[in-house]
């Protein structure tokens, strides 16, 4: 997955910035107040999400999207891969320590940096898991096409990770 050309990098950065702003906004909400409503009424109060890409949702919808769509899907994918490392899966798993302070910048420099010329520091199993499960599922949830040589602006590794040396 080599990246070429300045226009590619600029297009990629614009896409990632859009995703990051919306993702940060979604995780940045305060915890909901304790409700006195019965469970059935709480379910009715759940935000109904339109079937559109994440970037087209307003702030309240983005918060609901992260809670309703991303966390329930991604948490078991991470925990099934490594129950010990991902026992406490939450916003900070992807967004880093600053998530608890309402900062959700992505890509996250706290995640392992990627050197596409040398990925030997990662296990084959972790690379396959990220490439076959995590990356495509997150792209699907965000309603974005996957990165490929034919689609260099699609969602890929650099949607979450930073690139080594940059």
Per-residue pLDDT of 77-130, as tens digits, reads 999 999 999 999 998 999 899 888 877 778 999 999 999 999 999 999 999 999
Determine the structural domain holding residue 141 and report its residue range: 6-29+51-159
Question: Is residue 43 included in any domain, yes or no?
Answer: no
Does residue 15 fall inside a structural domain? Answer: yes
Is the residue at 1 inside a domain? no
**Pairs from 146-149 (Cβ < 8 Å, separation ≥ 24):** 147/1
pTM of the model: 0.70
Whether 155 is in a domain gets the answer: yes
CA gap 115, 165 in Å, rounded: 8
Per-residue model confidence (pLDDT) at position 65:
87
- Provide the number of structural domains found in the chain: 1
CA distance 144 to 70: 14
Has residue 40 been placed in a domain? no
Token pair belonging to 77: 């994918």
């Amino acid at each position: 997955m080599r990246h070429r050309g300045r226009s590619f990098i600029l297009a990629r950065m614009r896409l990632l910035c859009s995703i990051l702003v919306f993702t940060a906004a979604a995780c940045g909400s305060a915890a909901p107040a304790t409700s006195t409503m019965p469970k059935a009424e709480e379910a009715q109060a759940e935000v109904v999400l339109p079937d559109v890409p994440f970037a087209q949702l307003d702030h309240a919808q983005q918060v609901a999207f992260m809670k309703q769509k991303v966390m329930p899907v991604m948490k078991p994918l991470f925990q099934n891969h490594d129950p010990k490392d991902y026992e406490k899966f939450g916003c900070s798993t992807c967004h880093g320590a600053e998530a608890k302070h309402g900062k959700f910048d992505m890509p996250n420099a706290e995640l392992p940096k990627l050197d596409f010329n040398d990925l030997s520091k990662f296990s084959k199993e972790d690379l396959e898991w990220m490439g076959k499960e995590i990356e495509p599922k997150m792209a699907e949830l965000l309603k974005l096409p996957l990165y490929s040589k034919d689609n260099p602006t699609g969602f890929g590794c650099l949607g979450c990770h930073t690139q080594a040396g940059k």
